[in-house]
Amino acid sequence: MVLKLLSRYKYFVLIVAFSIMGLSCSAQQRKPQSEFWRNVRYGGALGFGFGSNSFSIAVAPSAIYQVSEKFATGVSLNFEYSKFGDSEFTAYGGSILNFFNPIPAIQLSAVLQPLRVSTNYSSASLLVDENYWTTALFMGIGYSTRNVTFGIQYDVLHNDRSIYADPWVPFIRMYF
Torsion of Cα atoms, 30 then 34 then 38 then 42, to 10°: 110
Lowest-confidence range among 84-88, 118-122, 123-127, 148-152? 123-127
Average pLDDT over residues 159-168: 87
Mind listing the pLDDT tens digit for each residue in 3-13?
A: 343 445 455 44
pLDDT (tens digit per residue) in 64-101: 999 999 999 999 999 999 888 888 989 999 999 999 99
State how many domains the chain has: 1
CATH of the domain at 169: 2.40.160.20
Pairing of strands 106-123, 87-103: antiparallel
Which domain, by its residues, includes 131?
Answer: 2-175
pTM: 0.76
The residue with greater pLDDT, 151 or 23, is 151
- pLDDT at 35 > cutoff 90: no
